[in-house]
Amino acid sequence: MMNLNLFLLSVTAMVSAAGGTSTVDLGSASDFVILAKSGITNVVGSAITGDIGVSPIAAGAMTGFGLVMDSSNEFSTSSEVIGKAKAPDYTTPTGPELTAAVNNMETAYNDAAARATDVSNLKEGAIGGETLGPGVYTFDTDVTISGDITFNGTSEDVFIIQTSKSIIQATSTQVLLTGGALAQNIFWSVAQQVIVGADSHLEGIILANTAVRFSTGSSLKGRIFSQTAVTLQKAVITQP
């Protein structure tokens, strides 16, 4: 009976902690599906839904898009992007808007990285095959996704994955959502790189302190915020 009581107590505590996880405020960074400080490199064949932007680096750091300047000089367009491409060397108000958005993405990264832990070093970072409930998962190792993983929760539940290392998703693996869980409520707070393998699918908001790379045939439902560069190899990126 004592063991049962202890089990029930621990479950109650976990649910209570998870239920208290609040969303990460993206501010005006949420105007973008991809935002990077030092460039976005694209291999022709990608399909991006939403606005993209770079700052403080100039528009020349968005490569592989075949950008065409709009007559307003405030944004460019591309056959690879259903949306606008923006850079700080475009006509005002684009520069100030990008500065604010970059500041907001940095604030969001710092917020997510500082959240109190609910679960620490689950499976030493090898989370392939796992089903994750809402809450904050903290790792001091690489987080490797070698098999499909599932986020299970309601449309109100928030999931935060924090790591001081990298996120590495293997080829042909999927991130799945069940129970009503939403991509916009999943946050990947990553101190190093995010690498998504070929033909794999990821869901959620990437808050990366360094680089993000999506390999050939990979996809994301979410947003990419990188404090260095983003590389896309014929990837499908769709804002939630």
Question: How confident is the prediction along the chain (240 residues), in pLDDT tens digits per residue?
Answer: 434 343 333 333 232 334 579 999 999 999 999 999 999 999 999 999 999 999 999 999 999 999 999 999 999 999 999 999 999 999 999 999 999 999 999 999 999 999 999 999 999 999 999 999 999 999 999 999 999 999 999 999 999 999 999 999 999 999 999 999 999 999 999 999 999 999 999 999 999 999 999 999 999 999 999 999 999 999 999 999
Does 19 map to a domain?
no
Q: Do the domain assignments include residue 123?
A: yes
What pLDDT, on the 0 to 100 scale, is given for residue 104?
A: 98
| C-alpha of 90 from chain center | 26
**Listed residue (202, 153, 215, 200) closest to 175, CA to CA:** 202
pLDDT in the model for residue 106: 98
Closest CA to 153 of 138, 170, 172, 132: 132
Residue 31 within a domain: no
| Number of domains the chain contains | 1
**Residues facing residue 176 across a β-bridge:** 150
SS3 state at 104 = helix
Residue 209 lies in a domain: yes
And the tokens for 216? 């050939």
Whole-model pTM over 0.85: yes
- Number of Cβ within a 10 Å radius of residue 26: 22
User: Is position 34 within any domain?
Assistant: no
In single-letter form, the type of residue at position 237 comes to I
Domain membership flag for residue 87? yes
The reply to whether 109 falls in a domain is yes
> How far apart, in whole angstroms, are the C-alpha atoms of residue 86 and residue 183?
24
Q: What is the pLDDT of residue 20?
A: 73
165 domain-assigned:
yes
Structural domain including 52 reads 40-238
Would you state the pLDDT for residue 19?
A: 54
3-class state of residue 51 by DSSP = coil
Q: Point out which residues pair with 36 in neighbouring strands.
A: 54, 226
Helix, coil or strand: residue 124 = helix
In the numeric block, which tokens belong to residue 61? 């750091």
CA atoms of 142 and 126, how far apart (whole Å): 8
In this prediction, residue 11 carries a pLDDT of: 35
